[in-house]
Amino acid sequence: MASSMTGLGIGEAQFNSTTITVELKSVNNRYLEVSCRLPSFLSYYEQQVRDIIRNGVERGKIYTTITVKGDPGGISGIRINEKIVGSIHDLLNRLRNVAGIREKLRLDHYMRFSEIFESYSEPENADLTWSHVKKALQDALDALKEMRWKEGEILLKDIAERIQSLEKHLDTIESIARDNVSEEYKKLTERIERLTQDHNIDQDRLHAEIALLADKMDITEECVRLRSHNQIFLNTLEKNEVVGKKLNFLLQEMNREANTISSKAIHVEISHTVVEMKEEIEKIREQVQNLE
């Protein structure tokens, strides 16, 4: 069954005096998009993190945060932040040009910026750390999928109830149309006969044209198609696959049929009922935006 695209999953792993925490947070998105925040010494594994997540979910914006607390063992020290040095170099050169300073840049000019140095800690065995990160990541992904599935169940229940509401509105519309078809035909006939009473008109042709007009006002086909869309919609909800795009297409067709019913109906109560139907369709559309 379809899942929600919103959810949260947390996984944790421990080894020696180190605690690894992985947090996955997902929100609605047209496609699958994964963003990652992880320690610099694990940057080599970022693509593997993305691949694991992509194998577990198919749509949504996934925010991934990996933290490592404690001492995984290894070497620590201070190193140059090359990106910061490059930015400072460009900035100082721009300053020289603006101020018209001929003096060349020296090392002591850079040493005034503490940002050029950064502390770091790199485990002796990054593969060992990654093996625990991978376990925590999989646990977080499983928790995320479970939450998305549970929220999906709630959404599906609400959508199914709204589809049933559409069916009841269709019952009302068909009942009104059925009860009034002969009356509307009679009114149409009387009106045309009054307008043409002073003219010599072929009565057989007249009644044939009236029947044609009455047929154009018939909404039976639209009601049948809308019921068919409703059933396909419910069947699609039960499939164990990505259904969001297909449901959006069905909603477009459902809205189209409702508009046609409204344009053909000549009874005010049918028009009012169609307005209520379109409100339900719009609410369903809002809920579908949350489905994977």
Domain ranges in the chain are 74-121, 152-288
Comparing 94 with 208, the larger pLDDT belongs to 94
Closest CA to 60 of 26, 25, 23: 26
CB 154 within 8 A of CB 69: no
The answer to whether the CB of 86 falls within 8 A of the CB of 137 is no
Task: From 168, 212, 152, select the one nearest 5 (Cα to Cα).
Answer: 152
Q: What is the DSSP letter of 83?
A: H
Kind plus residue range of the DSSP H or E element containing 182: helix 126-195
Any idea which residue has 């080599």 for tokens?
44
Q: Which of 112, 115, 219 shows the shortest CA–CA distance to 175?
A: 219
**CA dihedral over 76, 82, 83, 85, signed as positive or negative:** positive
| Mean model confidence pLDDT for the chain | 84
User: pLDDT tens-digit profile of 18-36?
Assistant: 899 999 999 999 889 999 9
Asked whether residue 178 carries a pLDDT value surpassing 60, the answer given is yes
Structure tokens, 142: 């499983």
